[in-house]
């Protein structure tokens, strides 16, 4: 620390022209190298995401799904590219209704007898993420498509070391919640066993993984393009494996998949514009919470005080209840976006909170926390926020391809006639909320998080920390969080016990997490006054890198 009267030492580093942040160091490095080579933010995001699929194989990959949010600097164009997966056409609304056993204990998934919706070929939905990459690159890329695959190919071929958070996921025993263990999914195929298991258990921290089959698959995609996966050789190999094992995914499902492209939802908040992905992605939940909280002077209270938590938690519960009641795939069920985000509705909700009324909310519609995220800015002002996932990994690795397919059928309710029921071609609601914030026409924040149903509450608190409390970026993403996705309020271990006691005295059930950084994993970049600053969740393994 400087002595009184002494000038603060000058930072010798040049101001950043571009930046990327993600939870995996190898992926951050790949994105940074693409930026340094003259690639756009979209190029860097794709390269980063491809490496994420190599080094975080239970979180994401080419067999997964996701949402990309982009602001194109040169043109000012703002776009959401939605690659959320779809239910195969062979599925029927009642196919598992007689096997329904309940919702998983933590709200992440539906239990059916035999777990066919979670483990194995019947769990796979139509993957969308490669079509997202293809569409984004065609519109906003600068480097050749094959160049974006080179870092991922190198990591798959040369190897990577198991990181602490990867090991945490590999060894997660989710049987207590009613799901299969991750080790069972890793070992579901002989290929998975050889890659990720050792002496009957997942490989330990520091052990190396080399995946030459995935390197070959990525090289094929680099040369032939995404069509190889949806209509070409890879599609045929995926479908052949599905047919051998009674899977639902067909050649027609793959060939017919299309991304959805459109404008983001935009709402005002504290003099800024917050842009979010529309349904069935999770932006509407964040938007509704912000609309309600704009009616309160939050900084008149202490940050994370009992009253502050009460007000924000009630906004979380109102938006969560409305999501359960109204939000699904707009192709099947109209979503009342205008009403949920209207001034009148926000005023009414805020008035209820002021009166001390409490909203009751059942356990959230299940959703997997096995997800990852990234944010990237380039020197031309293009900004990307992207979240992508395998949902619950299915364990299925088509022979000699090196990648795992998603298990997103677990997201759909086996009971018919519900908002998230199985319907051929339907996209399920996802909390994924890659978000951009604008000051006028200029983006100033890019933020997103993995973490299932906690994504919305985490992104909300990151935005409040930045826009209301004026925190720096790293401080904003690591500040203690809380969650109200049920009637109970869950709090991080760093929230003082006196606050917990005060909430309990108000009559709330309060659950203290043993973790210091729970409830999703925020990653963000800010660009106030043109100065880039990044922040990465400390409980993951990533960091922001600049050029």
pLDDT in tens, 502-515: 999 999 999 999 99
DSSP characters for 350-383? Answer: HHHHHTT------SPPP----EEEEEEE-TTS-E
Residue-level pLDDT at 316: 96
Residues known to be catalytic: 371
> Tokens for 162?
């198991």
pLDDT of residue 3: 47
Burial of 268 (0-12, 13-18, 19+ CB in 10 A): exposed
Place of tokens 């983001």: 264
Is the separation of the CB atoms in 25 and 372 below 8 Å? no
User: What is the percentage of the chain residues whose pLDDT exceeds 70?
Assistant: 94
Is the confidence at residue 362, as pLDDT, over 80?
Answer: no
Report the residue count for the chain: 547
Residues β-bridged to residue 490: 483, 511
pLDDT band (50, 70, 90) for residue 519:
very high
Integer angstrom CA distances of residue 70 from 128, 383, 389, 460, 472: 17, 6, 18, 19, 23
Q: Mean pLDDT of all residues in the chain?
A: 93
pLDDT value, residue 417? 84
Q: Does residue 366 surpass a pLDDT of 80?
A: no
Q: Which residue has the tokens 């194995």?
A: 120
Please tell me the pTM assigned to this model. 0.94
- The answer on pLDDT for 14 being more than 80 is no
Query: What mean pLDDT is predicted for residues 101-130?
Result: 86
* DSSP strands (E only) in 158-259: 160-161, 197-198, 201-202, 208-209
- Which of the residue ranges 146-150, 171-175, 498-502, 543-547 would you say has the lowest mean pLDDT? 171-175
What does the pLDDT read at residue 110?
Answer: 83
Chain centroid to CA 271: 27
User: Band of the pLDDT at 105, cuts 50, 70, 90?
Assistant: low
Name the band, by pLDDT with cuts 50, 70 and 90, for residue 2. very low
How far, in Å, CA of 101 to CA of 500, rounded?
34
The pLDDT assigned to 1 comes to 40
Task: Return the half-sphere exposure (C-beta side, CA atoms, 13 A cut-off) of residue 487.
Answer: 9
Asked if 404 and 417 touch (Cβ cutoff 8 Å), the reply is no
State whether residue 509 is helix, strand or coil: coil
In order of their start, the domains of the chain are 21-261+371-411 (no CATH), 262-367+435-541 (3.60.20.40)
Supply the DSSP symbol for 404.
Answer: P
What's the token pair of residue 42?
Answer: 């979209």
In this predicted model, what pLDDT tens digit does every residue of 28-61 receive, in sequence order?
A: 999 999 999 999 999 999 999 999 999 999 999 9
Model confidence over 221-242: pLDDT tens digits? 999 999 999 999 999 999 999 9
| Mean pLDDT of all residues in 155-169 | 95
């Amino acid at each position: 620390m400087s002595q009184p009267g002494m000038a603060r030492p000058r930072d010798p580093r040049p101001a950043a022209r571009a930046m990327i942040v993600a939870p995996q160091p190898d992926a951050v490095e790949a994105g940074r190298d693409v930026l340094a080579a003259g690639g756009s933010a979209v190029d860097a995001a794709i390269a980063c995401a491809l490496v994420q699929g190599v080094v975080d194989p239970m979180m994401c990959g080419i067999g997964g799904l996701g949402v990309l949010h982009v602001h194109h600097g040169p043109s000012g164009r703002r776009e959401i590219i939605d690659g959320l997966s779809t239910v195969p056409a062979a599925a029927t609304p009642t196919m598992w209704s007689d096997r329904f056993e309940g919702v998983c204990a933590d709200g992440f998934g539906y239990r059916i007898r035999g777990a066919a919706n979670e483990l194995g070929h019947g769990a796979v939905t139509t993957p969308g993420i490669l079509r997202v990459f293809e569409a984004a690159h065609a519109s906003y890329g600068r480097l050749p498509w094959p160049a974006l695959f080179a870092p991922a190919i190198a990591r798959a071929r040369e190897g990577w070391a198991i990181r602490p958070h990867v090991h945490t996921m590999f060894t997660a025993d989710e049987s207590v919640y009613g799901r299969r263990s991750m080790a069972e999914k890793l070992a579901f195929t002989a290929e998975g066993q050889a890659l990720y298991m050792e002496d009957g258990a997942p490989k330990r921290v520091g052990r190396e993984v080399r995946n030459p089959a995935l390197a070959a698959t990525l090289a094929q995609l680099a040369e032939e393009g995404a069509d190889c996966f949806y209509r070409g050789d890879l599609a045929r190999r995926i479908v052949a494996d599905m047919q051998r094992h009674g899977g639902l995914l067909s050649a027609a499902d793959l060939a017919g998949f299309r991304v959805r492209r459109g404008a983001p939802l935009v709402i005002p908040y504290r003099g800024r514009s917050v842009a979010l992905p529309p349904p069935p992605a999770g932006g509407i939940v964040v938007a509704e919470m912000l609309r309600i909280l704009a009616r309160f002077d939050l900084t008149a209270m202490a940050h994370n005080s009992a009253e502050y938590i009460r007000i924000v938690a009630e906004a979380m519960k109102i938006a969560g209840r409305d999501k359960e009641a109204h939000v699904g795939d707009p192709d099947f069920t109209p979503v009342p976006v205008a009403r949920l985000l209207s001034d009148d509705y926000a005023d009414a909700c805020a008035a209820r909170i002021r009166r001390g009324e409490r909203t009751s909310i059942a356990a959230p519609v299940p959703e997997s926390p096995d997800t990852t995220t990234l944010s990237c800015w380039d020197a031309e002002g293009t900004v990307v926020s992207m979240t992508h996932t395998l949902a619950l990994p299915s364990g299925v690795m088509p022979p000699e391809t090196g990648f795992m397919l998603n298990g997103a059928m677990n997201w759909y309710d086996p009971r018919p006639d519900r908002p998230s029921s199985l319907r051929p071609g339907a996209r399920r609601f996802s909390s994924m909320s890659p978000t951009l914030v604008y000051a006028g026409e200029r983006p100033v924040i890019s933020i997103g998080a993995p973490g299932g149903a906690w994504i919305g509450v985490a992104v909300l608190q990151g935005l409040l920390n930045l826009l209301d409390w004026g925190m720096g970026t790293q401080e904003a993403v690591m500040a203690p969080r809380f969650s109200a996705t049920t009637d109970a309020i869950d709090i991080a271990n760093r929230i003082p016990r006196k606050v917990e006691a005060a909430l309990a005295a108000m009559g709330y059930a309060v659950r203290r997490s043993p973790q210091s950084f729970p409830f999703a994993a925020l990653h963000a970049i800010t660009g106030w006054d043109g100065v880039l600053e990044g922040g990465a969740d400390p409980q993951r393994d990533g960091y922001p890198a600049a050029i």
